[in-house]
């Protein structure tokens, strides 16, 4: 096989969690540079359906599709389209699904994509190149919405101060570049307690808002639950606390963790049977050797589970709330 540009974080651990079997059908929900897909295809006679919302990644993967001679199908799509695409291709049920959530190294390193404040580039951040850009949000959203985005998606304590400064400064000149926004944030909310750039959390928040990342993650997990056959494996690698919280609570709810199965009040409805079983100590984190070789691996966490024969669960309102901004009339968290 052709070599991949980089090795994805926790690749070996994710593959072990999937318990790949020869001839199995697998979905790589985040193709990227194809690292997970190559590992899946390394097993004899496996077939893979891979997705990526980034057209550049899909284009770069065409050579691998050709090389695999029918074993790999690569589609430009979002997580939320996972179930529909797999069913349309007759690729269900499946034996395993893997997610590597977040922005790829290639996207961060390409200044023209606007994901990083470390190089001058347009304030874009769109993974698929469609819809509202980060510049659109920064220059058009009202102050309260901006503050909510920065606080809830970036966990930025200075969210209100930064939002107020954005609204003030954009009246003078709209924000068009990553550097302009990063320099303004560093000016109004300097970070005096660590080496992390003051704009780090704000850029994360805007990227999540632009790409609807948390909603996409939750919808992807729901689709995976419906696609996996009995005994099928789910493996998810996340890179920040908001993503990990959704995965953790999704699997906790689906596995019946914390439920008391014996004593219930009269008339109390029993919860649905667990659709997943979570085994072993979780989350799994990178080794010291991996983080030394790749600093971006430091915050990665892997959670995994095995599908039971029980029907998929309906979406709980509590889980849905984790993926979106809170309603304003209910106050701030």
pLDDT band with cut points at 50, 70 and 90 for residue 295: confident
In the structure encoding, which two tokens stand for residue 200, read together?
């780090």
Domain of 78: which CATH number?
Answer: 3.40.50.150
User: Looking at 174, 194, 210, which one is the last position of a domain?
Assistant: 210
167 inside domain: yes
- Mark 246-284 as b/e (b = at least 16 C-beta within 10 Å): bbbbbbbbbbbeeeeeeeeeeeeeeeeebbbebeeebbb
> What are 304-333's pLDDT values in tens digits?
999 999 999 999 899 999 999 987 654 443
- Whether 138 shows a pLDDT value over 50: the answer reads yes
Kindly state the percentage of the chain with pLDDT values over 90. Answer: 73
In the structure encoding, which two tokens stand for residue 277, read together?
């079983």
331 inside domain: no
Query: Is the same domain home to 98 and 236?
Result: yes
Contact 139, 160 (CB under 8 A): no
Q: Give the three-class secondary structure for 114.
A: coil
- Whether 215 shows a pLDDT value over 60: the answer reads yes
Query: Is the same domain home to 37 and 184?
Result: no
180 inside domain: yes
Distance CA 299, CA 46 (A): 30
Point out the least confidently predicted range of 21-25, 110-114, 283-287. Answer: 110-114
332 inside domain: no
Long-range contacts of 268-276 (CB under 8 A, 24+ apart): 272/310, 272/311, 272/313, 272/314, 273/308, 273/310, 273/311, 274/308, 274/310, 275/225, 275/307, 275/308, 275/310, 275/311, 275/312, 275/313, 276/225, 276/234, 276/251, 276/305, 276/306, 276/307, 276/308
Of the candidates 159, 151, 155, 149, which has an alpha carbon nearest to the alpha carbon of residue 185? 159
Query: Is the same domain home to 161 and 281?
Result: no
Distance CA 252, CA 248 (A): 6
* pLDDT at res. 322: 93
3 inside domain: no
Contact 219, 53 (CB under 8 A): no
User: Looking at 192, 210, 228, which one is the last position of a domain?
Assistant: 210
Distance CA 289, CA 312 (A): 38
Domain of 119: which CATH number?
Answer: 1.10.150.170
How does the average pLDDT of the chain come out, rounded? 89
Burial zone of 131 (CB within 10 Å; 0-12 exposed, 13-18 middle, 19+ buried)? exposed
Distance CA 68, CA 45 (A): 10
Distance CA 65, CA 290 (A): 29
289 inside domain: yes
Structural domain including 196 reads 113-210
Query: Is the same domain home to 166 and 99?
Result: no
- Whether 17 shows a pLDDT value over 80: the answer reads yes
Query: Is the same domain home to 242 and 253?
Result: yes
- pTM beyond cutoff 0.95: no
List beta partners, residue 235: 98, 304
Query: Is the same domain home to 127 and 206?
Result: yes
Backbone φ and ψ for 303, nearest 5 degrees, come out as -125, 145
Query: Is the same domain home to 91 and 222?
Result: yes
* pLDDT at res. 270: 78
Point out the least confidently predicted range of 124-128, 203-207, 274-278. Answer: 124-128
Distance CA 66, CA 89 (A): 18
Of the candidates 101, 206, 198, which has an alpha carbon nearest to the alpha carbon of residue 148? 206
- Whether 260 shows a pLDDT value over 90: the answer reads no
Query: Is the same domain home to 223 and 316?
Result: yes
pLDDT band with cut points at 50, 70 and 90 for residue 3: very low
Domain count along the chain:
2
* pLDDT at res. 128: 79
End-to-end Cα spacing for the chain = 49
Distance CA 238, CA 245 (A): 9
> What are 64-84's pLDDT values in tens digits?
999 999 999 999 999 999 999
Query: Is the same domain home to 80 and 226?
Result: yes
Scanning the structure block, which residue is given the tokens 């808002």?
209
* pLDDT at res. 76: 96
> What are 163-208's pLDDT values in tens digits?
999 999 999 999 999 999 999 999 999 876 667 889 989 999 999 9
pLDDT band with cut points at 50, 70 and 90 for residue 6: low
Distance CA 231, CA 289 (A): 32
* pLDDT at res. 294: 85
- Whether 285 shows a pLDDT value over 50: the answer reads yes
In the structure encoding, which two tokens stand for residue 264, read together?
């219930």
* pLDDT at res. 8: 84
User: Looking at 188, 210, 232, which one is the last position of a domain?
Assistant: 210
pLDDT band with cut points at 50, 70 and 90 for residue 110: low
Looking at residues 219-227, what average pLDDT do you find? Answer: 98
Query: Is the same domain home to 301 and 276?
Result: yes
- Higher pLDDT, residue 189 or 232: 232
* pLDDT at res. 134: 94
Query: Is the same domain home to 60 and 145?
Result: no
Point out the least confidently predicted range of 35-44, 109-118, 273-282. Answer: 109-118
175 inside domain: yes
Query: Is the same domain home to 140 and 90?
Result: no
Looking at residues 100-128, what average pLDDT do you find? Answer: 67
* pLDDT at res. 129: 76
205 inside domain: yes
Query: Could you write out the DSSP letters of every residue in 203-265?
Result: HHHHHHHHHTHHHHHHHHHHHHHHHEEEEEEEEEEE-SHHHHHHHHHHHHHHHTTT--SS---
Burial zone of 179 (CB within 10 Å; 0-12 exposed, 13-18 middle, 19+ buried)? middle
């Amino acid at each position: 096989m052709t070599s991949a540009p980089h090795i994805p974080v926790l690749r070996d651990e994710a593959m072990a969690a999937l318990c790949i079997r020869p001839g199995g059908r697998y979905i790589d929900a985040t193709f990227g540079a194809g690292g997970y897909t190559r590992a899946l295809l390394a097993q004899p006679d496996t077939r893979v359906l891979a997705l990526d919302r980034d057209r550049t990644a899909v284009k770069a993967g065409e050579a691998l599709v050709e090389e695999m001679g029918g074993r790999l199908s690569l589609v430009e799509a979002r997580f939320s389209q996972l179930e529909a695409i797999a069913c349309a291709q007759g690729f269900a049920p499946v034996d395993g699904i893997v997610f590597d959530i977040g922005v790829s190294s290639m996207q961060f390193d390409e200044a023209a994509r606007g994901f990083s404040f470390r190089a001058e580039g347009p304030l874009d951040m769109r993974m698929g190149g469609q819809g509202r850009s980060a510049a659109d949000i920064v220059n058009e959203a009202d102050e309260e919405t901006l503050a909510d985005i920065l606080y809830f998606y970036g966990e930025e304590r200075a969210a209100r101060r930064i939002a107020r400064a954005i609204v003030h400064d954009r009246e003078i000149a709209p924000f068009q570049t990553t550097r302009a926004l990063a320099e303004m944030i560093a000016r109004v909310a300097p970070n005096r307690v660590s080496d992390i750039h003051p704009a780090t959390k704000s850029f994360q928040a805007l990227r999540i808002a632009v790409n609807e990342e948390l909603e996409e993650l939750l919808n992807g997990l729901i689709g995976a639950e419906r696609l996996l056959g009995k005994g099928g494996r789910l493996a998810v690698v996340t890179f920040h606390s908001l993503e990990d919280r959704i995965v953790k609570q999704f699997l906790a709810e689906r596995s019946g963790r914390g439920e008391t199965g014996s004593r219930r009040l009269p008339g109390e409805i029993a919860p649905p049977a667990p659709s997943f079983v979570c085994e072993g100590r979780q989350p799994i984190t990178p080794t010291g050797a991996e983080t030394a070789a790749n600093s971006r691996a430091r915050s990665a966490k892997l959670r995994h589970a095995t599908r039971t024969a029980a029907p998929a669960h309906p979406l709980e309102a509590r889980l849905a709330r984790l993926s979106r901004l809170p309603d304003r009339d209910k106050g701030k968290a």
